[in-house]
Amino acid sequence: MILIKKYIPLALCFLFGVLTLGSYYVPTAASENYMEAMNQWENIVAGFAFLLGLFGLFYSHYNKITRKVDGWGYSLFVYIGFFMMVIPAILSEGKIMEGTTLTSIGWGYRFIYNALASTMFSVLAFYIVSTAYRAFRIKSAQAAVLFVAALIVILGKVPLGQMLWDTTLGWTGTQVSGIVQWLMDVPVVAGRRGIMMGLAIGGIVTGLKIIFGIERQYMGRD
Amino acid sequence: MKNFIEKLLKIDRRLIFLTLTLLLFIPIVRPLGLPNKNIGTEVKGLYDRIESLPPGSFILLSIDYDPGTRPELHPQAIAVLRHAFRKDLRVGMLTLIAGATGLVEELAERIPKDIAPDKVYGKDYVILPYQPNPAAVMTQVGMDLYKIYDTDRNGLPIKDMEVMKGIRNVKDMGLGICITGTALLDSWVALTGDRYKFPFAGGCTAVSQMGYAPYLQTGQLKGLMGGMKGAADYEGLIGHKEKGTSGIDALNLAHLMVIGLIVMANIMMLWLKYL
Amino acid sequence: MLNKRLNLTIFSVLFAASAVCAATPASQKNAPPVPDLSGFQAVDMPYDKGEAVLLTWPVTPADVPGAVYQVYASAGKDWVKAAELPAASSLASEVELPFWAWKRDAALHAFQAEMPALFPGFKPGDGYSFKVKYVNGKTSLESAEAKVAPKANFFNLNRVNNFVLLVTIIVVFFWTVSHAKRKGLFIRRIAGLDAIDEAIGRATEMGRPIFYSTGIGSMSMVPTIASTSILAEVAKKVATYDTQLKVPHFDPIVMTVSKEIVKQAYTEVNRLDSYRDDINFFVTQDQFSFAASVDGMIHREKPAACFFIGHFMAESLLLAEVGATTGAIQIAGTEQESQLPFFFTSCDYTLIGEELYAAGAYLSKEPMLQSTLKVQDFGKAFVMVAVAAGSVLVLAGTIYKWDTMLYVVKHLFKGY
């Protein structure tokens, strides 16, 4: 068992990790063919993963319904929603448009899924506004700098803000868009680059840990 | 007064939600028509890049957003398509997000209707099917795209289509554009743009826009449209105002409200602290 | 009279002869210059997969505005026009290859012919002929044919800088790993990770569940792998205290891996009896449906603690804000810098940047894993020194016009 659960996966991980890493430096046809084969395999595995997820989803909600756990009624909607989309999809052979008319799955996509997903994303705007009100407080000198920078960026990003700036601070001869551009090009890029470099190094080290089998927690240790 | 301020600072967030809703209703009922004066330099970068491509060049357009981010990103995709077709460029559209397939269909429906009625499917543009593994697509299009896309979304072989003439991988293409609300633009830049020396540009939500500043500075991204403002800017550049431009009013008011709330909350906090 | 005529004739002949003599060099001066194409060469493009040919020919005074070079290729029979280049373009200095793989300052024209684009049935190893033709108005000149059989190269020398860096990192990596076995290692405190005990303790006291989300990344993404490592430690503590754990998933493969990890964690602390298979469950592979579903669960079940660790995009605030309203203690961490501000405002603790990658090692306290943190530190030290030294050198090179040094530095730190 330990061979199947530990040594074989570790050996496969090492082998394919080294080969994939090596293919970056070796430009031969064999190297390219290897990458092509890997890409096709990855695509196939990713496709089958949907099925894995689906079975997992059904199993989990079936358990909730049979055990009558709190909120089990919501689990019923998982099945209702699933069949509401899948049956029309099968009937219309997966096509969203038939010529110039919408199929039943197309209708469901455009008038149900579209509206639901857009609503969910638009909630973000409300959360951002309320979070800004609750959390953006000047409690230190650093927070004050952040506050001023944020204010300028918000003003500079919309035409009304630019008009406000011109009306109140136009006499200074500075354009708010110029200041925003400087903020974006200098402090923002500098800060982000620092985090990016740290992340890149962390990513490389994690990759090596996995290839060489030092990090094994992702496969349940033994 | 102190009590009142304290109460105001702990105001029920639902009241803030309601105020924002009412504020956003104003431009819907009566559009203000605020001008979009300053065009972003990164949007201009993308526009100039497309403008400089010779007619017949191929553009790879990755539509990687779902209906959630549609209000911000769909106008960007329409504006870019309109510009590309106006310049007589060939376009290959694909998606790496399952939820985006319907939006790609919407674009396919609009191209003959109003975006470019004179363009012919298979000759001027092609729509590739959804693929579940982004990394596989991004590396494969750099080598031989027919190994991962042998047919279009309707199952027709693409290799013989006129639109694909002379196209084998990204070396034969003029530009790649990914419009997304996810981190797929980063992956496109790393796995295709940088690796195969393929000029790449993008469109993203306003929230993610700041994060791409280093890519723009190093030239890894040739241009970027950020949120609805980016779409409005692009619409202004091509002289065809649509949903992006009409959203500017709402954007203005919402931004103004955020500024108002932050300033108000801080004044109240300082009042409680020092007065 | 005769003498006079003879003199006149002699004078006229001499005048005409001198005029002819004077006119000849003048007409030679006005003739357009012609390039020397004898140096035309076709060689296999170095360090590629064998699908390109590099054509070079000397730069000459004939490269005037209006003149063009036409490049022709043949697979044996007919000639195909591969390109038409303005005479003053396609110089060796424009070729995007590093200094160790390409002589930039050579006075040459250089053109890279992509063979599959020219010959659809192209195979590396087949022989092809090339010639270049100079055209300037009515003047034209053709080079001799040059034959070449492009072949794949075994090593991409352009990427040797990257390769050296990789080998160095691997050497340092193994050195630190072997070193760590002998000695302990000081690691600074990471508040977000120290708070895990507090969060789990709180959940146990309150009798409420703990939510752990690995984000919307796939299993091939480093932040997701890092998140599963943290999940292993969280699950162990949860199992010890017999608290309830819920792990909603966006990706089915991540769910399968997480199931294995959580089961193993329960086994390690001898609490396999408390393990349930539905601790990890798949929700949906749609970003906002996932956010809506998890928000709903958090809202209904009012967890005592929420962990949002992994790859998050726009759903970060949607999740964290709802968690905050239920009063849960929240710990977050993501590699997406654009989402960090949202986590800062709504969560109690946030792991920044590479703290996320260090978390697995920090929590597990395994010497082998902890030693790899040292590699990260060496890496950061190297980057800091490289950035500082590179900036100084580039600045000095720009001020003092040290062009050679400028492009050596730029090439050394560039990816090819």
Q: What pLDDT is stored for residue C188 in this prediction?
A: 80
Helix ranges, chain B (H): 2-9, 13-29, 41-52, 70-86, 101-110, 134-140, 184-187, 206-209, 213-218, 227-238, 243-246, 248-274
Nearest CA in chain C to B172: C117
Q: Are residues C213 and C353 in the same domain?
A: yes
Distance CA C343, CA A141 (A): 21
- C166's enclosing H/E stretch is helix C160-182
CATH number at residue C86: 2.60.40.10
Closest chain A C-alpha to C86 CA, distance in angstroms: 31
Question: Which residue in C218, C287, C325 has the most chain B C-beta atoms within 10 A of its own C-beta, making it the best mutation to test that interface?
Answer: C287
| pLDDT above 90: residue B65 | yes
For chain A, what is the mean pLDDT?
Answer: 86
Distance CA A99, CA B216 (A): 41
Q: How far is CA A73 from the centre of its chain?
A: 29
One digit per residue, the tens of pLDDT, for chain A of length 222 reads 778 878 898 999 999 999 999 999 998 889 989 998 998 888 888 888 888 888 888 888 898 899 888 778 888 988 998 898 899 999 988 888 887 788 999 999 889 888 888 888 888 888 888 888 887 888 888 888 888 888 898 888 888 888 888 888 888 888 888 898 899 889 989 988 888 888 889 889 888 988 998 887 777 654
Distance CA B63, CA B179 (A): 5
Residues in chain A: 222
CB-CB contact of B257 with A129 (8 Å): yes
Q: Tell me, what DSSP letter sits at residue C285?
A: S
Q: Does residue C333 lie in a domain region?
A: yes
Q: What pLDDT is stored for residue A159 in this prediction?
A: 82
Q: Does residue C26 lie in a domain region?
A: no
Q: Does residue A70 lie in a domain region?
A: no
The number of domains in chain C is 3
Neighbors of chain B by Cβ distance (3+ pairs < 8 Å): A, C
- A159 closest CB neighbour out of B35, B101, B135: B35
Q: Does residue A49 lie in a domain region?
A: no
Q: How many CB atoms lie within 10 A of CB C116?
A: 18
Q: What pLDDT is stored for residue C24 in this prediction?
A: 46
Model confidence pLDDT, tens digit, residues B87-96: 999 999 999 9
* Secondary structure of residue B247 in the 3-state scheme: coil
Check A52 against C376: CB less than 8 A apart: no
Q: Are residues C334 and C223 in the same domain?
A: yes
Q: Which amino acid is at A108?
A: G
Q: What pLDDT is stored for residue C387 in this prediction?
A: 92
Model confidence pLDDT, tens digit, residues B99-122: 899 999 999 999 999 999 999 999
CB-CB contact of C288 with C315 (8 Å): yes
Distance CA C75, CA C235 (A): 65
B193 token code pair: 């743009």
Based on the number of CB atoms within 10 Å of its own CB, is B122 exposed (0-12), middle (13-18) or buried (19 or more)? middle
| pLDDT above 80: residue B26 | yes
Q: Does residue A169 lie in a domain region?
A: yes
Model confidence pLDDT, tens digit, residues B186-228: 999 999 999 888 999 999 998 888 889 999 999 999 999 999 9
CATH number at residue C260: 3.40.50
Q: Does residue C284 lie in a domain region?
A: yes
Based on the number of CB atoms within 10 Å of its own CB, is C6 exposed (0-12), middle (13-18) or buried (19 or more)? exposed
Q: What pLDDT is stored for residue A173 in this prediction?
A: 84
**Bigger pLDDT: C298 or B247?**
C298
Q: Which domain holds residue C137?
A: 41-148
CB-CB contact of C128 with C75 (8 Å): yes
Q: Does residue A130 lie in a domain region?
A: no
Give the domain ranges of chain B.
Answer: 2-30+252-274, 41-241
The number of domains in chain A is 1
Taking each helix axis as running N to C, give the angle between helix C252-268 and helix C222-241, from 0 to 180 degrees, rounded to the nearest 10: 40
Check A131 against C268: CB less than 8 A apart: no
Q: Does residue A187 lie in a domain region?
A: yes
* Secondary structure of residue B68 in the 3-state scheme: helix
Q: What pLDDT is stored for residue C303 in this prediction?
A: 95
Question: Which residue in C288, C317, C326, C387 has the most chain B C-beta atoms within 10 A of its own C-beta, making it the best mutation to test that interface?
Answer: C288
Based on the number of CB atoms within 10 Å of its own CB, is B267 exposed (0-12), middle (13-18) or buried (19 or more)? exposed
Can you say whether residue C90 is alpha, beta or left, with left for phi > 0 and alpha for psi between -120 and 50 degrees? left
Give pLDDT < 70 ranges for chain C.
1-32, 181-185
CB-CB neighbors (< 8 A) of A25 in chain C: 155-156, 159, 162-163
CB-CB contact of B108 with B130 (8 Å): no
Strand partners, B59: B91, B175
Q: B201-228 as b/e, with b when 16 or more CB fall inside 10 Å?
A: bbbbbebbbbbbbbbbeeebbbbbbbbb
Q: Are residues C121 and C136 in the same domain?
A: yes
Backbone angles phi, psi at C186, to 5 degrees: -85, 130
Q: What pLDDT is stored for residue C12 in this prediction?
A: 55
Share of chain B above pLDDT 90, in %: 61
Can you say whether residue C275 is alpha, beta or left, with left for phi > 0 and alpha for psi between -120 and 50 degrees? beta
- B120's enclosing H/E stretch is none
Q: Which domain holds residue A200?
A: 139-222
Neighbors of chain C by Cβ distance (3+ pairs < 8 Å): A, B
CB-CB neighbors (< 8 A) of C96 in chain B: 197
CA quadruple C18, C21, C22, C24: dihedral, nearest 10: 160
Q: Does residue C228 lie in a domain region?
A: yes
CB-CB neighbors (< 8 A) of B70 in chain A: 114, 117-118
Strand pairing report for B175-180 and B200-204: parallel
Q: What pLDDT is stored for residue C31 in this prediction?
A: 64
- C318 closest CB neighbour out of A123, A135, A217: A123
Distance CA A210, CA B241 (A): 51
Q: Does residue C269 lie in a domain region?
A: yes
Q: What pLDDT is stored for residue C1 in this prediction?
A: 44
Q: Are residues C351 and C237 in the same domain?
A: yes
Question: Which residue in B70, B171, B209 has the most chain C C-beta atoms within 10 A of its own C-beta, making it the best mutation to test that interface?
Answer: B171
CB-CB contact of C133 with C143 (8 Å): yes
CATH number of B41-241: 3.40.50
Q: Are residues C288 and C336 in the same domain?
A: yes
E strand intervals along C37-127: 41-44, 52-58, 68-74, 79-86, 108-114
Distance CA B207, CA B209 (A): 6
**Side-by-side strand order, sheet with C245-249:** C280-282, C245-249, C210-215, C305-311, C329-334, C349-351
- A197's enclosing H/E stretch is helix A189-211
